[in-house]
Copies of this chain bind each other. A is one copy, B any other.
Amino acid sequence: MNNPFATYQTLRKSLREIALLGSVGSVMEWDQRTQMPPKGAEFRAEQLSLIARSVHEQFTADRIGDLLGELEASGLVADPHGDVGTDVRETRRSYDRAIRLPASLVEEMSRTSALAQQAWAEARKKSEYAIFEPWLAKTLDLKRQQAMCYLAGAPAGSDSMYDALLDDFEPHAKTAELRGVFEQLRKDLVELVGRIASSGRTAPVEILQRRFPVAAQEQLARDAARRVGFDFQAGRLDVSLHPFCSGLVPGDTRMTTRYDEHGFADAFFGVLHETGHALYDQGLPKEHWGAPTGSAVSLGIHESQSRMWENLVGRSAAFWKFHLPKARMAFPEALTGVSEDQWLWAINNVRPSLIRVESDEITYNLHILVRFELEQAMLSGQLATKDLPGEWNAKIKQYLGIDVPDDARGCLQDIHWSDGAIGYFPTYTLGNLYAAQFFAKARADMPGLDGQIAAGEFAGLLGWLRENIHRHGKRYSAGELVQRATGEPLSARPLMEHLRAKAARYYGV
């Protein structure tokens, strides 16, 4: 048997080289979405597929399995949260999942996804669900096959099937546990939204639709991102059709946004959101880059970082104590005669609406829960794909109290299912739950936090996140991390407390 320390170094070196190649793919994707001229698309697809294939081949090589086997048989993995224990456990999980998928299934999923996305785009454009329905059925069939591969003979119940897919996005999460938390959240939210609706109050949202010159928006957003901690020497902010953040390598984290002269909120809160993702990427331990110990825990935890800066911090009264005077200087025309209270209410507007990505902090989660429930029902076969629109519309009516006028604004609004992302949606609401729970604990740990935020000082909060979340990489699962950082298991309570306080402040309910 080889020296296990040397074996570990060999594994780390391989993982780092694979990650390096993967990061080249990420630069190519960033370039595709922000720089590439239209006619570059054909060869770019080939370049990306070459890199993806090469990453997959290198990661699924027998050699990686052998190294993992040797290390698992050594004493080095005794501490599950130590470097070796973490890297071997998490690499094993990804490795087993990767080798269990036959190349033919991967290819068919990739081909189907391309065609399903085309069908979805056409269906949404025409608001004709029938165009997309057979592709959704086929996608679900492939996802069932994928789940069976992951399960590798373990019992295939409806929860374990969904668990298997969820694991691609939120490793170690269990459907049953999520369901417990989400059902409580749903009851509480439906009740709260009902009370807000009956308050009869409407936020002065027209303020946000006044004229906000784009150059000044960009300046304000950049200043805010820099102030909360984004290092522009180690990253960029650009424009793209759909905003995203890509942590390419340590020292190079790139985020994007889009500007609308008559919509202040999009770019500003969008940049705060992406900055939250970026700060997490910039805060992962550089020395472990490429290995699980240097990687983000899960999509849910990643989203918690973006949602915290966007909503818990960015929409707070404390934040605007410091930033509203800056905004008034940047937009003297739009903000003339706007009081602090009006501004805060405008950016904290709550109102049931049809489109998830345009919805507010409270109703957003109900949009997610509809999807979470429906995708489980479709995956298990309990809900036939042809019955989706009816079920969708019924749930939207039940949870949000509004009627869906057409499928384009109903079950056809999101690209995710056409892309085969089943088990992805819940990570958005998990992000909101984690964010509220972390933020409540950070405030409890740092009584002066609101004052710091009101003074434009964010180092305290960022330090707390670095210490309790970022530096750990994947040493703990999302559930363990929440327990460790907050002393409690995941719960809907902190988020509901935050949202109830907001409802009380702005809607008197």
What residues of chain A have their CB less than 8 Å away from a CB belonging to chain B? Answer: 17, 20-21, 23-24, 27-28, 31, 35-44, 46-47, 50-51, 231-236, 248-252
Could you tell me the distance between the alpha carbons of A21 and B40 in the complex, rounded to whole angstroms?
15
B236 and A43 within 8 A (CB): no
B21 and A50 within 8 A (CB): yes
Could you tell me the distance between the alpha carbons of A39 and B234 in the complex, rounded to whole angstroms?
5
Residues of B within 8 A of A28 (CB): 24, 27
Interface centre among A20, A21, A43, A250 (most CB of B within 10 A): A43
B23 and A43 within 8 A (CB): yes
A249 and B40 within 8 A (CB): yes
With known contacts A37-B235, A236-B35, A251–B43 Cβ distance under 8 A: yes
Could you tell me the distance between the alpha carbons of A50 and B235 in the complex, rounded to whole angstroms?
22
A37 and B233 within 8 A (CB): yes
Q: A23-B47, A24-B47 are in contact. List 12 more A-B contacts (CB 8 A).
A: A17-B50, A20-B46, A20-B50, A24-B24, A27-B28, A35-B35, A35-B236, A37-B236, A38-B233, A39-B252, A43-B248, A43-B250
Residues of B within 8 A of A252 (CB): 36-37, 39-40, 43-44
Nearest Cβ in chain B — how far from A300, in angstroms? Answer: 27
Could you tell me the distance between the alpha carbons of A235 and B236 in the complex, rounded to whole angstroms?
22
Sample of 20 A–B contacts (CB below 8 Å): A20-B43, A20-B47, A20-B50, A21-B50, A24-B24, A24-B28, A24-B47, A27-B28, A27-B47, A31-B31, A35-B35, A35-B236, A37-B233, A37-B252, A39-B252, A40-B248, A40-B252, A43-B251, A43-B252, A44-B252
Nearest Cβ in chain B — how far from A127, in angstroms? Answer: 31
Residues of B within 8 A of A43 (CB): 20, 23, 248-252
Top 4 closest A-B pairs, CB basis?
A40-B252, A39-B251, A43-B249, A39-B234
B50 and A232 within 8 A (CB): no
Nearest Cβ in chain B — how far from A235, in angstroms? Answer: 6
Task: Report the copy number of this chain in the oligomer.
Answer: 2
Please name the residue on chain B nearest to A40 by beta carbon.
B252
Could you tell me the distance between the alpha carbons of A31 and B157 in the complex, rounded to whole angstroms?
48
Please name the residue on chain B nearest to A34 by beta carbon.
B35
With known contacts A43-B250, A252-B44, A234–B27 Cβ distance under 8 A: no
Nearest Cβ in chain B — how far from A208, in angstroms? Answer: 31
A251 and B27 within 8 A (CB): no
Could you tell me the distance between the alpha carbons of A50 and B21 in the complex, rounded to whole angstroms?
8
With known contacts A17-B50, A20-B50, A234–B31 Cβ distance under 8 A: no
Name A249's contact: one of B20, B47, B232 (CB within 8 Å). B47
Please name the residue on chain B nearest to A48 by beta carbon.
B24
Nearest Cβ in chain B — how far from A88, in angstroms? Answer: 24
Residues of B within 8 A of A46 (CB): 20
Residues of B within 8 A of A248 (CB): 40, 43
Nearest Cβ in chain B — how far from A283, in angstroms? Answer: 14
Residues of B within 8 A of A35 (CB): 35, 236
Interface centre among A17, A23, A28, A252 (most CB of B within 10 A): A252
Nearest Cβ in chain B — how far from A49, in angstroms? Answer: 9
Residues of B within 8 A of A44 (CB): 249, 252
B233 and A39 within 8 A (CB): yes
Could you tell me the distance between the alpha carbons of A20 and B234 in the complex, rounded to whole angstroms?
28
Could you tell me the distance between the alpha carbons of A233 and B42 in the complex, rounded to whole angstroms?
13
Nearest Cβ in chain B — how far from A349, in angstroms? Answer: 35
Could you tell me the distance between the alpha carbons of A51 and B50 in the complex, rounded to whole angstroms?
12
Please name the residue on chain B nearest to A235 by beta carbon.
B37
Nearest Cβ in chain B — how far from A254, in angstroms? Answer: 8
A234 and B37 within 8 A (CB): yes
Please name the residue on chain B nearest to A43 by beta carbon.
B249
Residues of B within 8 A of A31 (CB): 27, 31
Nearest Cβ in chain B — how far from A83, in angstroms? Answer: 21
Nearest Cβ in chain B — how far from A56, in angstroms? Answer: 15
Nearest Cβ in chain B — how far from A332, in angstroms? Answer: 26
